[in-house]
Structure 1
Amino acid sequence: MHAMQYEITLPADYDMGIIRDRVARLGHALDDWEGLGIKAYLMRERGRDGSPVNQYAPFYLWNTVEGMNSFLWGGGFQRLSDDFGRPRVRQWTGLAYEEGGGSSAAHAVRRRQPVPEGVPLADVVADAVGEVRRLADQDGAVLASAAVDTGRWELVVFSLWAHEEPKADGEVFQVLHLSAPGRDRLPRGRQW
């Protein structure tokens, strides 16, 4: 599993209805993308759920590098780049994934944190795997995952929630659409 995200921060007075309309028109394009586990079309609005910014920030869990590369280099990403400029794309290597009992996703929570120095890496990732299990077991959880960027030594924990008040700490996003062609093929549990 591979995680990927880009963020497009928009002006404070930007009409976020434009993003909602864009996703309503184009979100289905990845509903059957080969190699994609899930794409959560995420948005934050300034002043809502504690967000200081307006932002469009899709989050992906890929089953295959080929699917991710096909999206980035084969045309899927180009439309976004043409419309908003090319954003920096963050990538993380998967550590853990679990399904929750919730059905449809209303909110997402993303928590990024540095991997601390002086702590055994095995302990850090064991804690991340445990956190994914704990989150997935919460009422309303749709799914939970953890991944790491070893270039920055950054851990990301991502979860989807069926209700208005997620039971996770981090930045809260609205889920506008969920493309999940390979969700059933995302490997459960720890990724090694």
Structure 2
Amino acid sequence: MHAMQYEITLPADYDMGIIRERVATRGHLLDDFPGLGLKAYLVRERGDASPVDQYAPFYLWATPEGMNSFLWGPGFQGIVNDFGRPVVQHWTGLSYEEGPASGAVPGTATRRRTPLGEEVPPGEAVADAVARHAREARRDGVVASALAVDPRHWELLAFTLWADAEAPADEGERFRVLHLSAPGRGLLGAGRQW
């Protein structure tokens, strides 16, 4: 599993209806994309627990070939054509879990970043994080949750899809889910990724 996200921060006076229309008319194009585990079409809006207006799709790739096919193909080129080439953040997958609400359509997503301190060996810190992630994924309202790591910056990323329109306030940055494409969700596996 490989996690990926890009954030397109929009001007304060940008009509977010344009993003909603974009997702409504184009979101289905990845509903059967080979190699894609899931893509959550995410937005944050200024004043709604966010300092900015932002379009920030989040991907979990089941295969590197799928990710590469998207990045070097017409899908990502559409983003580049419309918004310029964004920085693509990426993390290697550590764990994936379906939650108790796995059959629900997610309304909210959360993203929490946590630095891996130097005082604990990386393997030990990651093992502890994976165990904690498995417990957290069993909470009420969780549709699915992924844990990943950026070894360049030694940062953990916890990404969770929630059935409720409002995720718990202490879960990190919150996003609205406009659409979920999940053609290979079952291929993401369960639990630890090594």
Which category of TM-score, normalised to the shorter sequence, fits these structures? Answer: over 0.9
Q: Distance in 2 between matches of 1:129 and 1:166?
A: 21
State whether structure 2 residue 27 is matched by structure 1 residue 27. Answer: yes
Task: Show the counterpart of 1:139.
Answer: 140
2:68 alignment partner, SS class: helix
Report sequence identity in percent: 64
**Structure 1 residue ranges, 4+ long, deviating more than 3 angstroms after superposition:** none
Deviation at 1:130, TM superposition (A): 2.2
Which is further off, 101-110 or 165-174?
A: 165-174
Matched pairs, number: 191
Q: Distance in 2 between matches of 1:166 and 1:128?
A: 20
Picking from 168, 189, 192, the partner of 2:191 is: 189
- Contact kept, 8 Å, 2:38 with 2:183, in 1: the verdict is yes
Q: Distance in 2 between matches of 1:47 and 1:40?
A: 21
1:138 alignment partner, SS class: coil
Gapped regions of structure 2 (runs ≥ 5): none
Q: Tell me the C-alpha RMSD between the 2 structures.
A: 1.0
Q: Residues 12-46 of structure 1, C-alpha deviation per residue, up to 9 Å, x if partnerless?
A: 12111111010001000100000000000000000
TM-score w.r.t. structure 1 length?
0.96
State whether structure 2 residue 94 is matched by structure 1 residue 104. Answer: no
| Counterpart mapping for 1:79-158 below 5 A | 79-102=78-101, 103-158=104-159
Task: Show the counterpart of 2:8.
Answer: 8
State whether structure 2 residue 75 is matched by structure 1 residue 76. Answer: yes
Q: Residues 85-107 of structure 1, C-alpha deviation per residue, up to 9 Å, x if partnerless?
A: 00000110000000012111000
TM-score w.r.t. structure 2 length?
0.95
Gapped regions of structure 1 (runs ≥ 5): none
Task: Show the counterpart of 2:38.
Answer: 38
1:145 alignment partner, SS class: strand
Q: Distance in 1 between matches of 2:161 and 2:129?
A: 16
Q: Distance in 1 between matches of 2:131 and 2:17?
A: 38
- Contact kept, 8 Å, 2:165 with 2:176, in 1: the verdict is no
Q: Name the amino acid aligned to 2:61.
A: W
Task: Show the counterpart of 1:57.
Answer: 56
2:171 alignment partner, SS class: coil
